């Protein structure tokens, strides 16, 4: 019979050894998600603090980010844009992923909106923006932002000297074959 103190020591050593749970793919996905959260400090949305008459004309005002002069709406609740088959957004043949965002120039801000973005967690071409010219130089502006790859992206909108930046994670989920 083994010494009880040795048995107890072996028991505590075994408790400290990590035991894999689930499939290898699930473990890798969980590890990748933890790494992505740590590597990408996303911007979490809030309701835009605009008067009701202004917020009503601003697409995405319930999930927005702003600085008092310029706002972006339509941000995802946890800061991650998920592109999946049948979901929102567009997938292009070149692999880029496009999502719509509403921008809003607050009271007193006038001018043409420009948008640019860069990947923070790896190399990639810059994002591209689609900014229709059918809108006035005040108030609401519909846009689309195309991300060339998945990853952590910093997107900045500018009107004159006013800048607003948000960070989002872009993830593509493949469909079943």
Residues 72-90: tens digit of each pLDDT: 999 999 999 999 988 999 9
DSSP bridge pairs for 163: 158
Six token digits for residue 177: 């074959």
Q: Domain holding 90: CATH number?
A: 2.60.40.10
Per-residue pLDDT, 7: 32
Has residue 7 been placed in a domain? no
Q: What is the number of other CB atoms lying within 10 angstroms of the CB of residue 130? A: 12
Has residue 32 been placed in a domain? no
Number of domains in the chain: 1
Rounded CA gap, 71 and 116, in Å? Answer: 15
- 137 vs 36 pLDDT, higher one: 137
Average pLDDT estimate for 106-127: 96
Show the domain range for 55: 42-172
- Tell which residue, 34, 33, 31, 67, has the closest CA to residue 48: 67
Average pLDDT estimate for 13-42: 45
Q: pTM of the full predicted structure? A: 0.76
Tens digits of residue pLDDT in 3-21? 434 333 332 222 223 323 3
């Amino acid at each position: 019979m083994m010494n009880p103190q040795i048995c107890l020591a072996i028991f505590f050593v075994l408790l400290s050894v990590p035991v894999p749970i689930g499939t290898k793919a699930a473990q890798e996905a969980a590890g990748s998600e933890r790494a992505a959260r740590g590597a990408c400090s996303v911007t979490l949305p809030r309701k835009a603090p605009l008067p009701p008459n202004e917020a009503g004309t601003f697409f995405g005002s319930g999930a927005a980010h702003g600085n008092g002069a310029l706002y972006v709406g339509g941000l995802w609740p946890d800061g991650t844009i998920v592109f999946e088959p049948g979901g929102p957004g567009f997938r292009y043949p070149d692999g880029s992923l496009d999502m719509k965002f509403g921008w809003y120039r607050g009271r007193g801000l006038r001018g043409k909106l420009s948008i640019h973005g860069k990947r923070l967690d790896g190399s990639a071409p810059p994002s591209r923006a689609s900014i229709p010219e059918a809108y006035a130089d005040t108030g609401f502006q519909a846009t689309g932002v195309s991300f060339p790859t998945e990853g952590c992206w910093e997107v900045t909108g500018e009107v004159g000297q006013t800048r607003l930046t948000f960070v989002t994670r872009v993830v593509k989920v493949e469909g079943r074959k």
